[in-house]
Amino acid sequence: MATPFDILNRMREGRTLTAAEVRSVVDGAASGSWTDVQLAAFLMAAAMRGLDRDETREFTLAMLESGDQWALAEDFGPLVDKHSTGGVGDTVSLIALPLLASCGVPAAKLTGRALGHSGGTADKLESIPGVRLELDRAGTLDLLDRFSMAIGIATAGIAPADKRLYGLRDRTSTVSSIPLVVGSILSKKLALGSSGIVFDVKIGNGAFFADARDTRSLASSLVEISAACGTPADYVLSDMNQPLGRWVGHAAEVREALDCLAGDGDPRLLEVVTAICRKAARLVGRKLSPGEIDSAIGSGTARQKLVDWADAQGARPGWVDSLDLAPVEAVVTASGSGFLEAVDCRRIGNAFADACRPDRDPHSIDHAVALRYDVRLGERVERGQELARLYVRGDPEPLQREVGAAFVIGEEAEPPPTVME
């Protein structure tokens, strides 16, 4: 068997790793037989020289097989999964899953918390008073049987090797390596055992990758490696040069999801949701018509599906009417007249993340802090016009200053398309 020294030496020389060598690395991460120094060297070598298709596939499968595999579709039948690469004001999962379920396309998703400037779906759902998000396989199957949808945080056991490697990636500046990103995402997605996965890959200054070429490479790699591991996949490229919805904030985004499912959704947000749902349905042999989607929303079925899921997960009675906003309001106004030319979406996301955690405690989140985004890119604005409204506790000035600096007013601007592919 090749030693860590042998494997690292092969990578230094630019040679391709065998399947056994790739698995040796991942096994070493899971068992502790590889030290942090050795794993850090592997990650940097992988980031610098890349991993080819076969290496990435083996890396993904090895991390998948380091932990539990739920194989939900084997017991439940056809179902889809959905993943977003993250952004600001991205409420798509909270809308797409109940909408798919209402249209007869079962959907399940294990979700995560905020990462950097990007809001986490789990954090948003935890703004619902009393809701429980921890799920095991049996609980997920029960929710699917009852509601045709399940969403939550996996109990321990999913891809433990990835947990160790991700922590080291964060410390070695290798988070943005596409093969490592693909392996990390897919090892957890494939563990669920769905029939197909649709990826919402964000593009723009608020996306994980700001460069369009890198974003498209990530999207195609996710689909290619997922298929190579036995699960069909597709992707949507959606704009993240501005917040996707009208709201940024945990409780506020749950409220927006409920409004969207009731027919009062922002057109950009609904456009992405519709694209995701139609591609997800095709992965299990269904074709969703605009009429089916409109009917699920117009009848109230889709909204009720989200409410019923939350109730089953322990939400307190009347939770729909208790998603309050923070009491102190402040406005961000245009510094001049013209057209909204640019929005620093990442800056808004980072400022909001800080405002939600005033004590810098990652386990203490103020779910009521929110931002309402009032103007879209390319729209005409006048000096002093409200661009955004903030809802905070205490002094609003720090958030007001940061958000205000994120808006650029110019002489002319074209709005970007919401869905690129």
Per-domain residue ranges of the chain: 4-49, 72-312, 328-410
Per-residue buried b or exposed e for 146-183, using 16+ beta carbons within 10 Å of the residue's own CB = ebbbbbbbbeeebbbbbbbbbebbeebebbebbbbbbb
Per-residue buried b or exposed e for 188-212, using 16+ beta carbons within 10 Å of the residue's own CB = bbbbbbbbbbbbbbbbbebbbbbee
Q: 72-312 has which CATH code?
A: 3.40.1030.10
Are 125 and 94 contacting, i.e. CB atoms less than 8 angstroms apart?
A: yes
Are 164 and 29 contacting, i.e. CB atoms less than 8 angstroms apart?
A: yes
Q: What is d(CA 227, CA 212) in angstroms, rounded to the nearest whole number?
A: 23
Are 332 and 348 contacting, i.e. CB atoms less than 8 angstroms apart?
A: no
Q: Which CATH number fits domain 328-410: 3.50.50.100, 3.20.190.10, 3.40.720.10, 3.90.1170.30?
A: 3.90.1170.30
pTM: 0.94
| pLDDT, average across residues 137-163 | 93
Q: How far is CA 257 from CA 92, 99, 293, in A?
A: 8, 11, 15
**Concatenated DSSP letters for 25-40?**
HHHHHHHS-S-HHHHH
Reported as a single tens digit per residue, the pLDDT across 5-54 is 999 999 999 999 999 999 999 999 999 999 999 999 999 999 999 999 99
| Active-site residue set | 83, 162, 169, 184, 188
**The dihedral of CA 165, 196, 199, 92: what is its sign?**
negative
pLDDT of residue 155: 73
Report the phi/psi class of residue 270: left, alpha or beta, with left for phi > 0 and alpha for psi in -120 to 50: alpha
Reported as a single tens digit per residue, the pLDDT across 89-102 is 999 999 999 999 99
Residue 362 pLDDT level (bands cut at 50, 70, 90): low
